[in-house]
Amino acid sequence: MSALFNFQSLLLVILLMICTCTYIRAVAPRLIDRNKEGFLGLFWMSARIGERLSPYVALACIAMAVTILSQ
């Protein structure tokens, strides 16, 4: 089933995007920071969400891991 139609898969894709963009911005900030507008601005926004809300993102990742492992 596609990630668009399954809510749990959609949340997983969003969490992975946030975590990946945050990591890339920590390693190579110029890659993310040069595209702040347009479609690629979604990656910049995801990195900002990951930086500012990192405890909540971490808790969401743990909760998602527990739900996937329990299935």
The total of structural domains in the chain comes to 1
In a domain, 15, yes or no: no
- For 44, the 3-state DSSP assignment is helix
Q: Is residue 37 part of a domain?
A: yes
Q: Extract the tokens encoding 70.
A: 């329990």
Residues spanned by the domain of 59:
28-70
Q: Evaluate whether residue 12 is within a structural domain.
A: no
3-state class percentages of the chain: helix first, strand second, coil last, to nearest 5: 75, 0, 25
Report yes or no on 63 lying in a domain.
yes
Structural domain contains residue 9: no
At residue 9's C-alpha, the angle toward residues 36 and 22, to 5°, is 30
Per-residue pLDDT reduced to its tens digit, 28-52: 999 888 888 889 899 999 999 999 9
Q: Which of 52, 71, 59, 65 is nearest to 12 (CA)?
A: 65
pTM of structure = 0.84
